[in-house]
């Protein structure tokens, strides 16, 4: 661990095409630099020492937030956590994502860090992921010769290992407009102090039928309780298509806790998964009713 | 390989020859002699290295210097006008919000960014704005008092 | 003795504050000198290993590298104790052997120094470290002190048989504890454990060393005990004390960690090897592993009381984990016992402590120096006893706290105490009557708790308590006060200027503090044990009084009266009986300097102070907590500290000390845990991602109450207040948790899992 970086060559593409060309040329010798809040720490800890650092924040067309009812939400990969947390449209229509982005790190880290960087870090505790999972986000990945859309729940393979291929750049996050009569929230406990790594993170997106309180859809996203963030699908099934009541909520929360596979503080994490899922579903339900 | 890059620090332009792996905190401290910006934790948790880049609080120890070229960088040295202190600096002094002083530069800059954005913050909003700046001496109490007092001074048009 | 004070007691701003607010303050790590090299240290990845071979050839060949030093290269210099406890600073013949070399051939903990380099910049220095090849022979290691005490455990030091670095007894035993327990109607006991809290100073350890024109060692050192460090350095490097010039910069926080030498020995070695200035700055990780942090204990505590609540006996046995070298750790047991067993009135008291060496980073002194650790247990047991006896926690304490005139914790007369006031006023501020002992229902429960403590103003009679002050008056009536406290952020300069100004009848801003250079300052033991205001303040006061007498003598001649008729107020010497007859102090001073009548004099005063008293500050701490019984999470809602620190020289500074103490105490109690992997000996708590101290959002609503009654022996009635702020925080929280949910946590830190486990055990 050092407080300084080791030498590297600095490249500053001005377009996406230039960027992927460079990534293709240098392969695993290159790393993408956006906000730097993850990359630089890894470099300081000497976990990685890239020969080439490709700084992409100068690419103007990657920092945007666009919304329309039909097309849904499109966020450029370079949008920072601060921008997303403060975005009126996201606070209004995708509140849980604004909450999640507002929890990441510290104010300074949120100013610097990007949603794209957060996703590509691929760690088990990234706060933004549970919300993106329940919102069923899709990721646009561009390489020299291809462009593909990957659903977010296929993106995380193992801790810090994602489906991002070499020389591929994440450029956009696409989120469909939720069904009418939907609401969501993001709830968490930190490990120790208020500003801290997440111990258990729970995102919920629920839709109610226009008729009597039947849950037409429920999605539960969890982070920090398994090798990668994931959807608690068995727990979702407990409530999907059923009339919502406290017993079912508790049952779903219990199942979610069982789906969790925490490595450390396992018992406590499972218990808190149940507590938070209960709380999150309850809060969401109250919002829609 | 050193590159020549243009920097704007505290309103002044500089042409510096720096290597890509130099951090902004290194350039400020070692090339420009602006030692008010501090090394402390190195991993983005303590905020002692906070500077403003285009008015936004940023961690200079996690910022490669070249990424800051051409942008307006404000360090603690850029707040006072000559010997006239910024109201936040004055308030920190008057309220006893400074003990060892090491976290003070980062703390004041985070406070400044908050008051520039929101001149009328609540106590809770001030705390949120400073939640990325750690202090071991003061318990934060007088720091919050000072920022709120500075907000009042600034609102009244005081300097 | 009450007097109207003009300067002492005022909330003055500090002379160094503007520089700190504008980033102009130069800390050791900010220093730059022509030709300066940067030092870096290579550290052991193993908890215990012999260094078999070092190949530094590649590193030495790297362009820009000017020195690479190994244990062999520094063997010519003497071994030392980093905590300076191999120097005669503790009475009764206590000495720690000099067990540590600048670089050691056998490394004793993860992070122990192996080699060091000096290069023209930090990047090259780091590159050089990577080119050094070290062959280690890993040795068996031991992490846990109780394991280390067992026969057959790996031996850490030749000086510690069975790994017992020091066995210390409570220094002020009294009576017969066995008899005391027989006489008791109620006995409560418990086993408590405390943690190795890390200081988390904002500035890391740093030093700059160079050879001056006389080829003396010049060292910018953060050490709190400048003259003691100078002597230690002179001893290490085999030279007379006046061949070392130690300069004290502003220090970015210490809390006891800089009571030892930190980066200095290696830094000086590199400067001597290269003949050039060397700056050595530690990284945060080095701070966590290479420096001392608070000594952690496991102890058995037992107290006996009569039915009416009076204490009959107190006994403790402590095991402390020292780490790989001794440092300041051993004394923390004796000091802890001193504060703990001497806080309440109790006729039968005894204590023993085994300070055990282990293959872990060194344990030393942190704010409170054993007091926070021991009061963690004592205040919980007192609450337990109160419950058993059907007494109120406030009541049982009011019954047992000492009164002025009794013998205090350090074996000297208790000069003053207003602890009863602290308890009463603090209880009111927290809302004790309304909140304590209420029926608790529901998932979220609140409670309030109390802890009290007494500390010290300096460590007389146990430690050397020798301070010197010299003051001179310039021709315009301004003054220069030469003292050598450590400017750690506690604003001692301001306090000393207030004290001197009050005595001299001047304003605080008239006093300039001359300090920070052992060539210039007279002997000063230093800043620790909450002594600076009390001891250095008394020295400054007496020196100022001498100067004042000279002013009055000369002024008397100039006014044609006798000195006893005069007084000085706000820069004017005036006749008490005739206020219109006066002369400015400046005129008197001018006459003394520019005198052509054979009466030249630079008006001055000097005092060598030796502490023959010790006025313990006392305090009562109140916590209101909220516990979620489903999650086990604890939130501190409000914290009140009521302090008796004598006359507060600067109430703003006193508040700052206590508010800072709350942050550290909340961390000690709830959030900070220094973790060492038991299987590998690797330290896992090395930065703020793995070691969490309270941030701004973790602070409760706070209130500080300063009783502000003067002490007869303190300068203008002041007592120490640097350390007390954190002593009672953790036990107050623990006692509040008990009020909220009826469970006791005895092992620090309090965690949600421990709360839930205790609740489950309670329901069974």
Q: What is the pLDDT along chain A (289 residues), one digit of tens a residue?
A: 899 999 999 999 999 999 999 999 999 999 999 999 999 999 999 999 999 999 999 998 999 999 999 999 999 999 999 999 999 999 999 999 999 999 999 999 999 999 999 999 999 999 999 999 999 999 999 999 999 999 999 999 999 999 999 899 999 999 999 999 999 999 999 999 999 999 999 999 999 987 778 999 999 999 999 999 999 999 999 999 999 999 999 999 999 999 999 999 999 999 999 999 999 999 999 999 7
Q: Domain check: are B41 and B69 in the same one?
A: yes
Does residue C528 lie within any of the structural domains? yes
Does residue C587 lie within any of the structural domains? yes
For residue C699, list chain B residues with Cβ-Cβ distance below 8 A: 139-141
Pick the last residue of a domain from B52, B78, B104: B78
Q: In angstroms, rounded to a whole number, what is the distance separating the alpha carbons of residues C11 and C494?
A: 10
Does residue C491 lie within any of the structural domains? yes
Contact B11/C at CB under 8 A: no
Q: Domain check: are B47 and B21 in the same one?
A: yes
Does residue C123 lie within any of the structural domains? no
* Domain that includes residue C576, residue range: 17-22+466-610
Q: In angstroms, rounded to a whole number, what is the distance separating the alpha carbons of residues B40 and C101?
A: 28
Test mutation, C14, C23, C685, C723, chain B, max B CBs within 10 A: C23
Q: Which of A189, A193, A275 sits opposite C671 (nearest CB)?
A: A193
What mean pLDDT is reported for chain B?
97
User: Ramachandran region of residue C191, left (φ > 0), alpha (ψ -120 to 50) or beta?
Assistant: beta
What mean pLDDT is reported for chain C?
97
Q: SS3 sequence, C385-452?
A: HHHHHCCCHHHHHHHHECCCCCECCCCCECCCCCHHHHHHHHHHHHCHHHHCCCCCCCCEEEEEEEEE
How much is the average pLDDT of B39-44? 98
Contact B19/A at CB under 8 A: yes
- Edge to edge, the sheet with strand B56-59 lists B12-18, B3-9, B72-74, B50-53, B56-59
pLDDT score at C390: 98
For residue A14, list chain B residues with Cβ-Cβ distance below 8 A: none
Distance from CA of A5 to the nearest CA of B (A): 6
Q: Residue C562 CB: number of other CB atoms within 10 A? A: 12
| pLDDT value at C459 more than 80 | yes
How much is the average pLDDT of C261-271? 98
Model pLDDT for residues C548-597, shown as the tens digit of each residue? 999 999 999 999 999 999 999 999 999 999 999 999 999 999 999 999 99
Q: Domain check: are B54 and B96 in the same one?
A: no
pLDDT score at A23: 97
The complex scores an ipTM of 0.98
Does residue C344 lie within any of the structural domains? no
Contact B67/A at CB under 8 A: yes
Q: Domain check: are B111 and B150 in the same one?
A: yes
Q: Which two tokens stand for residue A237?
A: 């099934």
Tell me the backbone φ, ψ of residue A256, rounded to 5 degrees: -60, -45
Model pLDDT for residues C202-248, shown as the tens digit of each residue? 999 999 999 999 999 999 999 999 999 999 999 999 999 999 999 99
Rg of chain A over CA atoms, in angstroms? 19
Q: Give the nearest chain B residue to C694 (CA atoms).
A: B134
Asked whether the beta carbons of residue B80 and residue C14 sit closer than 8 angstroms, the reply is: no
Q: Domain check: are B58 and B100 in the same one?
A: no
| pLDDT value at C2 more than 60 | no
Catalytically annotated residue among C66, C503, C624, C723: C723
pLDDT score at C103: 98
| pLDDT value at C357 more than 80 | yes
Q: In angstroms, rounded to a whole number, what is the distance separating the alpha carbons of residues C14 and C493?
A: 8
The dihedral built from the CA positions of residue C427, C429, C430 and C435, taken in this order, carries a sign that is: positive
Does residue C517 lie within any of the structural domains? yes
**Chains touching A (3+ CB pairs < 8 Å):** B, C
pLDDT score at C1: 33
pLDDT score at C3: 59
Domains belonging to chain A, first-starting first, are 9-55 (3.30.43.10), 61-175 (3.30.465.10), 182-288 (3.30.390.50)
Q: Which of A89, A87, A95 is nearest to A69 (CA)?
A: A89
Q: Which of B123, C695, B129, B51 is nearest to A82 (CA)?
A: B129
The enclosing H or E element of A162 equals strand A161-162
Q: Domain check: are B91 and B126 in the same one?
A: yes
Test mutation, C699, C752, C753, chain A, max A CBs within 10 A: C752
Strand partners, B50: B59
For residue A4, list chain C residues with Cβ-Cβ distance below 8 A: 122-123, 126
The enclosing H or E element of C481 equals strand C479-482
Q: SS3 sequence, C437-469?
A: CCCCCCCEEEEEEEEEEECCCCCCCCECCEEEE
Model pLDDT for residues C621-665, shown as the tens digit of each residue? 999 999 999 999 999 999 999 999 999 999 999 999 999 999 999
pLDDT > 70: percent of chain B: 99
Pick the last residue of a domain from B60, B78, B96: B78
pLDDT score at C183: 97
Report how many Cβ contacts below 8 Å link chain A to chain B: 85
Contact C689/A at CB under 8 A: yes
The domain that contains B43 carries what CATH number?
Answer: 3.10.20.30
CB C88 within 8 A of CB C525: no
Q: Give the nearest chain B residue to C205 (CA atoms).
A: B40
Q: Domain check: are B10 and B67 in the same one?
A: yes
Q: Domain check: are B110 and B63 in the same one?
A: no
| pLDDT value at C339 more than 50 | yes
How much is the average pLDDT of C85-113? 94
Q: Which two tokens stand for residue C111?
A: 């992070």
Q: Which of B155, B75, B85 is nearest to B121 (CA)?
A: B155
The domain that contains B145 carries what CATH number?
Answer: 1.10.150.120
The domain that contains C496 carries what CATH number?
Answer: 3.30.365.10
Does residue C316 lie within any of the structural domains? no
Q: In angstroms, rounded to a whole number, what is the distance separating the alpha carbons of residues B26 and B105?
A: 16
How much is the average pLDDT of C292-313? 98
Tell me the backbone φ, ψ of residue C762, rounded to 5 degrees: -65, -40
pTM assigned to the model: 0.98
Angle between helices B104-117 and B141-155 (to 10 degrees): 40
Q: Which residues of A173-193 are buried (b: 16+ CB within 10 A; e: fewer)?
A: bbbebbeeebbbbbbbbbbbb
**Chains touching B (3+ CB pairs < 8 Å):** A, C
| pLDDT value at C167 more than 60 | yes
Contact A265/C at CB under 8 A: yes
Tell me the backbone φ, ψ of residue C102, rounded to 5 degrees: -55, -45
Interfacial C residues in 654-683 facing B (CB < 8 Å): 655-656, 658-664
Domain count of the fold of chain C = 1
Q: In angstroms, rounded to a whole number, what is the distance separating the alpha carbons of residues C250 and C28?
A: 7
B143-B145-B147-B149 Cα dihedral, nearest 10 degrees: -150
| pLDDT value at C293 more than 50 | yes
How much is the average pLDDT of C41-60? 98
- Edge to edge, the sheet with strand C133-138 lists C106-107, C49-55, C133-138
Contact A264/C at CB under 8 A: no
| pLDDT value at B57 more than 90 | yes
Residues near C336 by beta carbon (within 8 Å), at least 6 away in sequence: C297, C318, C353, C369, C370, C371, C373, C374
CA distances from B79 to B53, B96, B105, B106, C758 (A): 14, 19, 10, 12, 52
Contact A7/B at CB under 8 A: yes
**Chains touching C (3+ CB pairs < 8 Å):** A, B
Does residue C510 lie within any of the structural domains? yes
Distance from CA of C404 to the nearest CA of A (A): 41
- Any catalytic annotation for residue C285? no
Test mutation, B67, B69, B70, B121, chain A, max A CBs within 10 A: B67
Q: Which of B1, B67, B131 sits opposite A106 (nearest CB)?
A: B131
* Domain that includes residue B20, residue range: 3-78
Contact C439/B at CB under 8 A: no
For residue C630, list chain A residues with Cβ-Cβ distance below 8 A: 275
For residue C694, list chain A residues with Cβ-Cβ distance below 8 A: 193
pLDDT score at C629: 98
Q: Which of C123, C631, C687 sits opposite A4 (nearest CB)?
A: C123
Domain count of the fold of chain B = 2
Asked whether the beta carbons of residue B43 and residue C689 sit closer than 8 angstroms, the reply is: yes
Contact C121/A at CB under 8 A: no
């Amino acid at each position: 661990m050092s407080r300084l970086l080791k030498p590297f060559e600095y490249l500053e593409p001005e377009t996406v095409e230039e960027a992927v060309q460079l990534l293709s040329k240098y392969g695993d010798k290159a790393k993408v630099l956006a906000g730097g809040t993850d990359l630089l720490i890894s470099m300081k800890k000497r976990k990685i020492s890239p020969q080439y650092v490709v700084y992409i924040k100068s690419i103007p067309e990657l920092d945007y937030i666009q919304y329309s009812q039909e097309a849904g939400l499109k966020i450029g990969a370079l949008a920072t956590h601060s921008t997303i947390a403060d975005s009126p449209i996201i606070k209004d229509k995708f509140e849980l994502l604004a909450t999640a982005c507002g929890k990441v790190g510290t104010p300074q880290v949120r100013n610097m860090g990007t949603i794209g960087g957060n996703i590509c870090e691929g760690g088990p505790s990234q706060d933004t992921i549970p919300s993106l999972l329940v919102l069923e986000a899709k990721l646009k990945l561009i390489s020299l010769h291809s462009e593909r859309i990957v659903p977010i729940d296929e993106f995380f393979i193992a801790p810090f290992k994602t489906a991002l291929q070499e020389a591929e750049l994440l450029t956009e996050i696409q989120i469909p407009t939720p069904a009418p009569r939907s609401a969501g929230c993001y709830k968490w406990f930190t490990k120790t102090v208020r500003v801290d790594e997440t111990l258990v993170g729970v995102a919920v997106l629920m839709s109610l039928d226009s008729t009597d309180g039947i849950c037409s859809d429920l999605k539960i996203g969890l982070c920090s309780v398994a090798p990668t963030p994931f959807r608690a699908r068995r727990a979702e099934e407990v409530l999907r298509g059923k009339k919502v009541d406290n017993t079912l909520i508790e049952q779903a929360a219990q199942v979610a806790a069982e789906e969790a596979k925490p490595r450390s503080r396992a018992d406590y994490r499972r218990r808190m998964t149940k507590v938070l899922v209960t709380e999150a579903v309850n809060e969401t339900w109250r919002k829609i009713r | 390989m050193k590159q020549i890059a243009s920097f704007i620090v505290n309103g002044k332009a500089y042409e510096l020859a720096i290597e890509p792996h130099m951090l902004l905190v290194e350039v400020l401290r070692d090339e420009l002699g602006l030692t008010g910006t501090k090394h402390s934790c190195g991993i983005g948790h303590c905020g002692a290295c906070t500077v403003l880049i285009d008015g936004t609080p940023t961690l200079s120890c996690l910022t490669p210097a070249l990424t800051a070229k051409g942008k307006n960088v404000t360090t603690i040295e850029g707040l006072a006008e000559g010997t006239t202190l910024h109201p936040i600096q004055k308030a920190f002094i008057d309220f006893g919000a400074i003990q060892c002083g090491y976290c003070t530069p980062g703390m004041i800059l985070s406070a400044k960014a908050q008051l520039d954005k929101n001149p009328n913050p609540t106590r809770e909003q001030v705390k949120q704005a400073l939640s990325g700046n750690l202090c071991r001496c003061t318990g934060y109490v007088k720091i919050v008092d000072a920022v709120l007092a500075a907000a009042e001074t600034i609102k009244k048009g005081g300097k | 003795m009450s007097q109207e004070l003009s300067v002492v007691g005022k909330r003055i701003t500090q002379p160094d504050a503007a520089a700190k607010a504008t980033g102009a303050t130069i800390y050791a790590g900010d220093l730059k000198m022509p030709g300066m090299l940067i030092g870096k240290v290579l550290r052991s990845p193993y908890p215990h290993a012999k260094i078999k071979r070092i190949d530094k050839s590649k590193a030495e060949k790297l362009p820009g590298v000017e020195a690479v030093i190994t244990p062999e290269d520094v063997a010519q210099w003497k071994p030392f104790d980093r905590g300076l406890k191999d120097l005669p600073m503790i009475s009764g013949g206590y000495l720690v052997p000099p067990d540590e070399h600048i670089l050691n051939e056998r490394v004793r903990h993860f992070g122990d120094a192996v080699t060091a380099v000096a290069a023209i910049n930090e990047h090259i220095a780091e590159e050089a470290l990577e080119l050094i090849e070290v062959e280690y022979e890993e040795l068996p290691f031991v992490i846990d002190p109780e394991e280390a005490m067992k026969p057959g455990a790996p031996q850490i030091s030749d000086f510690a048989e069975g790994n017992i670095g020091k066995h210390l007894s409570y220094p002020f035993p009294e009576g017969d504890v066995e008899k005391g327990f027989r006489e008791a109607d109620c006995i409560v006991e418990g086993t408590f454990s405390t943690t190795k809290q890390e200081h988390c100073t904002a500035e890391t350890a740093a030093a700059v060393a160079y050879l001056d024109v006389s080829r003396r060692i010049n060292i910018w050192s953060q050490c709190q005990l400048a003259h003691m460090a100078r002597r230690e350095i002179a001893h290490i490097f085999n030279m007379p004390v006046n061949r070392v010039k130690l300069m004290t910069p502003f220090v970015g926080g210490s809390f006891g960690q800089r009571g030892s030498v930190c980066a200095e020995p290696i830094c000086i070695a590199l400067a001597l090897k290269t003949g050039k200035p060397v700056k050595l700055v530690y990284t945060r990780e080095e701070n966590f592993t290479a420096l001392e942090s608070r000594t952690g204990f496991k102890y058995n505590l037992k107290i006996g009381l009569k039915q009416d609540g009076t204490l009959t006996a107190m006994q403790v046995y402590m095991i402390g984990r020292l780490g790989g070298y001794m440092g300041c750790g051993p004394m923390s047991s004796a000091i802890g016992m001193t504060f703990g067993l001497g806080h309440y009135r109790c006729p039968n008291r005894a204590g023993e402590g085994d300070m055990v060496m282990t293959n872990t980073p060194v344990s030393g002194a942190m704010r409170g120096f054993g007091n926070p650790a021991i009061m963690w247990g004592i205040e919980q047991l007192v609450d337990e006893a109160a419950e058993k006896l059907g007494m109120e926690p406030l009541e049982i304490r009011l019954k047992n706290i000492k009164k002025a005139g009794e013998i205090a914790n350090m074996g000297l007369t208790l000069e003053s105490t207003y602890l009863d006031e602290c308890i009463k006023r603090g209880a009111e501020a927290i809302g004790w009557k309304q909140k304590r002992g209420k029926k608790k229902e529901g998932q979220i429960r609140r409670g309030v708790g109390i802890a009290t403590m007494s500390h010290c103003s300096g460590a007389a009679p146990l430690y050397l308590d020798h301070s010197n002050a010299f003051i001179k008056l310039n021709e315009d009536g301004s003054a220069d006060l030469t003292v050598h406290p450590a400017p750690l952020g506690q604003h001692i300069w301001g306090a000393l200027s207030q004290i001197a100004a009050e005595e001299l009848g001047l304003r605080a801003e008239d006093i300039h503090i001359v300090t920070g250079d052992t060539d210039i300052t007279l002997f000063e033991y230093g800043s620790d044990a909450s002594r600076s205001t009390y001891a250095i303040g008394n020295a400054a006061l007496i020196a100022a009084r001498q100067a004042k007498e000279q002013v009055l003598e000369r002024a008397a001649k100039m006014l044609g009266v006798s000195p006893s008729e005069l007084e000085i107020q706000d820069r004017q010497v005036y006749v008490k009986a005739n206020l219109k007859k006066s002369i400015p102090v400046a005129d008197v001073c001018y006459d003394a300097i520019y005198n052509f009548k054979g009466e030249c004099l630079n008006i001055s005063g000097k005092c060598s102070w030796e502490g023959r008293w010790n006025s313990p500050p006392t305090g009562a701490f109140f916590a209101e907590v909220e516990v979620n019984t489903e999650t086990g999470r604890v939130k501190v809602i409000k914290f009140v500290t009521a302090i008796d620190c004598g006359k507060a020289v600067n109430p703003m500074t006193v508040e700052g000390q206590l508010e800072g103490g709350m942050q550290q105490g909340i961390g000690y109690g709830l959030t900070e845990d220094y973790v060492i992997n038991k299987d590998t000996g690797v330290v896992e708590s090395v930065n703020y991602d793995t070691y969490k101290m309270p941030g701004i959002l973790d602070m409760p609503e706070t209130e500080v109450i300063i009783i502000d009654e003067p002490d007869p022996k303190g300068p203008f009635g002041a007592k120490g207040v640097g350390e007390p702020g954190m002593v009672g925080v953790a036990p107050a929280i623990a006692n509040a948790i008990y009020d909220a949910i009826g469970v006791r946590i005895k092992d620090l830190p309090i965690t949600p899992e421990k709360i839930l486990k205790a609740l489950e055990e309670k329901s069974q």
